[in-house]
Structure 1
Amino acid sequence: MPNTTLQLLAEKTGISRSNLNRYEKDEVKPSADSIVILCDLYNVSTDWLLRGIEPQAQKVEAISDPDLKDMTDILKNLMESDDSDLRGWTKIQFKTTFKEYYATHKEKKP
């Protein structure tokens, strides 16, 4: 049966076989939603799918100072909260408390 692979992909993703065929022939560009669906299905990044490159891994450095580790963990938890008000409050408190250091750090960034 012709286009069996496209039919299976269409069934897995919910993207129509005709759209998949048009993507394959480069007749149209996929929507952002389609890109995300395909990335999730194949477990690849959008950078890889769109540009053929893997995103740079973030460099993680171990924190040896226990007090600094605690502060970092608390700040990370606050900023990863689902509560947007809490994230906003955290940013304001951080910027207010570390006003001078924050301004200097922002100036040094390229």
Structure 2
Amino acid sequence: MNIKNRLRQVRESFGLNQMQFVEKMQTSQSTISALEKGDRALNAEVVIRICDLFNLNTEWLLRGTGPMHKGDPKTGDASLISQPQKTQHTENMKSKKEMTGDASPVVESQREIMELFKKNMELQERLMAVMQENADLRVQAERDATRIRELERENEALKGERSE
């Protein structure tokens, strides 16, 4: 399954049509349509917004690996995050500071991954621009070489006429 299909799967799994999805994402319908058709690539900001809004695993959205939702590492069951435990013993309770400390490395890792993803996209765009420039320069070099050969032939012809 590719990224455009995973994006559609997210929308449909939450029972949203494109317009409802557009409202949640705060973007245009044409953007969502283009993303789902694969006519437009997801950028890092959109990936972060989708993962945050729908509690998705970034790795699943980008590559299709791992669980779909953040939560249970085996099943990706997001309900484990959103539903509090009914009974909680005092020895199992953590302070907000401790809980934030536990999640902080994960969040930081995801942010780093997204930054690397963003840098990768920028580098790919630069590479494509350099490759296009290289192709243009090769075409120009071939034209120049052809013109040089033509001028050399003309020069030889003129030398031949002078010597006669």
Q: TM-score, normalised by structure 2?
A: 0.30
The TM-score normalised by the length of structure 1 is 0.44
Rg larger in 1 or in 2?
Answer: 2
Greater helix proportion: 2
